[in-house]
Amino acid sequence: MPYASGRVIHDADAHIMEVPGFLEDHLESRHRATVTDKVLFPRHEGFHSHLKDDHRQGVADGSGFDEAQIMLAKNWDALGAYRKQDRPRSVELLGFASQLMFTTALLNYSSVLEGGRDPDLAYAVARAHTRHMVDFCSVDRRLLPTGYVPLIDFECTAKAAREAIDLGAKALMIPSRCPDTHSPSHIGFDPLWAVAQEAGLPIVFHVGGGGKLLEEAYFNNGLPPVPDFHGGDDNFKSIDYMAIAYPPMKALTALIVDRVLDRFPRLKFGVIEQGASWVPGWMRNMDSAHNAFYKNEERLQKMSLKPSEFVARQVRVTPYPHEDAGWIIANTADEVCLFSSDYPHVEGGRHPIKRFEASMEKAGTSERQKQKFYCDNFIDMMGNGLAADLRHPTQAAA
């Protein structure tokens, strides 16, 4: 029996675990000397030899994988993590009706490029990212590739969005980090929102796209170093975890207050793998700001809805499994929250459905609200990015 059974569940966050050399076939030759494996995998210098270890050969071609470990094996040890040929089988074992797919290696590097001095390189890596995602996902219609769109140059951004859609991207990922010279809500990006709305595809933010979350000084406290979530030192710790929501919160506030969501009412936004406990207070705080500044700001006077109502209509967010999802659903709107597994990342946990169910049982979440959380809100967000026959399948089918 698949891990997810008994209802249709769409997964709003799943990943490829890239291996060295994955970008070579997709990046223009003039940039290959700059975007090297050493740049993309700075902490995995021994990765080639790791993959060649004798005890991993069975996993490498999928034949030696213990299918009972589908939710227990993580990162590169997971089935279908980096071999696209194995991913259809992993989807079968997981039991999800679809998975919105994200990179792992390029999440942070893309945000670094946004602050770089070479826009040509940034857009070239964005194109390569999209080609890589579309190629990996081509093995199964249930895998929905994301395309990356930088926000450096207005014309280049609009062109990158059109190219990503033409390549087959089912969602457009943009950085939540504010560009250096303009707001993400600048009217120069209206062609981006227009092309996404016309295509019926969502704009998504993902963790890693917000740039550096906290100043280094916060970690100089005179005490011994603290290990991260994985036991190492290059991922989130409890203090910078608290800042994960700041970049998308600021970006979305600008988009809402500057009336991007008002002008593009059919455009959906997703906030992926950045938690959701912050959303209820943020919604109320925006409404408070709307009331406080309404008299002197014409843009607020022109808004057709309250800020929180725009969130309910157009913004979708994935809670972490360790958060109180039932409380979040009760204090936002039934349309806001999405299920996600983060497969095959460690952060997704071994049994996210169990943890979400426990939270929702405690909160008295209704069956209708659960249906929206596991299925309907994802369908609404994805729009034309999710084929009609995949929306409510009787069983997942390739």
Residue 49 has a pLDDT of: 46
Domains observed in the chain = 10-391 (3.20.20.140)
The percent of residues in the chain predicted with pLDDT above 90, rounded, is 79
- Report yes or no: 279 and 311 within 8 Å, Cβ to Cβ: yes
**Max intra-chain CA distance, the chain:** 70
Residue 233 has a pLDDT of: 55
User: In the structure encoding, which two tokens stand for residue 83, read together?
Assistant: 């071999």
pLDDT score of 55 more than 80:
no
- Report yes or no: 205 and 269 within 8 Å, Cβ to Cβ: yes
Can you tell me which residue has the tokens 């996210």? Answer: 352
| Angle in degrees, CA 25, 112, 145, rounded to 5 | 45
pTM of the model: 0.93
Average pLDDT across the chain, whole number: 91
Residue 396 has a pLDDT of: 39
Phi (first) and psi of residue 241, to 5 degrees: -55, -35
The percent of residues in the chain predicted with pLDDT above 70, rounded, is 90
- Split at pLDDT 50, 70, 90, the class of 395 is very low
Mean pLDDT for 36-40 is 83
Q: Which long-range contacts (CB under 8 A, 24 or more apart) does 28-32 make?
A: 28/124, 28/127, 28/128, 31/121, 31/124, 31/125, 31/128
Instruction: Collapse the DSSP code of 256 into the 3-class scheme (helix H, G, I; strand E, B; otherwise coil) and give the result.
Output: helix
Per the model's pLDDT, the better-predicted residue between 372 and 54 turns out to be: 372
Residue 398 has a pLDDT of: 37
Alpha helices in 115-245 (DSSP H): 119-137, 154-167, 190-199, 238-241
Cis-peptide into 344, omega within 30 deg? yes
Residue type, 284: R
Mean pLDDT for 361-377 is 98
Residue 52 has a pLDDT of: 42
Structure confidence by residue, pLDDT tens digits, 212-236: 888 889 988 999 888 776 555 556 7
Phi (first) and psi of residue 102, to 5 degrees: -130, 155
Per the model's pLDDT, the better-predicted residue between 72 and 237 turns out to be: 72
Mean pLDDT for 190-214 is 95
Instruction: Collapse the DSSP code of 315 into the 3-class scheme (helix H, G, I; strand E, B; otherwise coil) and give the result.
Output: strand
User: In the structure encoding, which two tokens stand for residue 236, read together?
Assistant: 């989130």
Of the listed ranges 39-53, 101-115, 172-186, the one predicted with least confidence: 39-53
CA 245/CA 110 separation, integer angstroms:
18
Alpha helices in 230-306 (DSSP H): 238-241, 246-257, 260-263, 279-293, 298-301
- Report yes or no: 97 and 8 within 8 Å, Cβ to Cβ: yes
Residue 113 has a pLDDT of: 75
